[in-house]
Amino acid sequence: MKFSGLLLLILFFFIFQSVRWSGENGAIKAHNKFIDYFSERRLGKCSNMISELYSDQWKFNDEEISLALRDLAKYFFLSFEVNWEDYSIRHSEDSYLITGTLKIEGAGNQATDFIMKEMRKYQHLPFTFHWSKTGMTPWAWQITKIEHPTLSVPNGYIPGKTLNSLRW
């Protein structure tokens, strides 16, 4: 009797989570988790939410975008806050596209001030995150692409290379 009760509880939990993390709601939950992790500088968790199939307009793969996020966050050692404002969410083929503005605030040193000045140029235009369900578990959502209409990567920037990371 105890085994069947445990099995029933696990089944109920899985069904509940499947409904909770399905479709648009699942993509939004995953996106909000990613923004929270990034704001808390839990960059390992952020990296786990990026698909191995990731590609973007800057020609970054999954490892390079993870390193670029680390490069950005490492200069905000006093404070770091990421704010997201949704504009829209739409379904496209096998992914959900979440579009909104990404605002980053924080403090650190002179490099941080330079980064903030550069970031302000791009904060008024929306980012689009492409989210796809990638596994059997209900919460298995990953980013497959990030887009921005005007953000460009400076020549010579190599994600993860300390000497080049200030060029962004």
Spatial contact of 144 and 125, defined as CB atoms under 8 Å apart: no
Would you state the structure tokens that stand for residue 108, as one six-digit string? 């650190």
DSSP class of 115:
H
Residue 145 in domain: yes
- Residue pLDDT, tens place only, 44-90: 999 999 999 999 999 999 999 999 999 888 888 888 888 898 789 99
Q: Residue 34 sits in a domain of what CATH number?
A: 3.10.450.50
* Segments forming the whole domain that contains residue 146: 23-165
CA dihedral 67, 94, 10, 7 (to 10 degrees): -130
Residue 4 in domain: no
Share of the chain above pLDDT 90, in %: 46
Residue 126 in domain: yes
Residue 5 in domain: no
In the chain, the number of structural domains is 1
- Residue pLDDT, tens place only, 98-146: 999 999 888 888 888 888 888 888 988 999 999 999 887 777 899 999 9
For the chain, what is the total number of helices (H) and then of strands (E)?
Answer: 6, 4
Residue 22 confidence (pLDDT) = 61
Give bridge partners of residue 128 from the DSSP assignment. 99, 147
- Residue pLDDT, tens place only, 45-56: 999 999 999 999
Residue 166 confidence (pLDDT) = 54
Residue 6 in domain: no
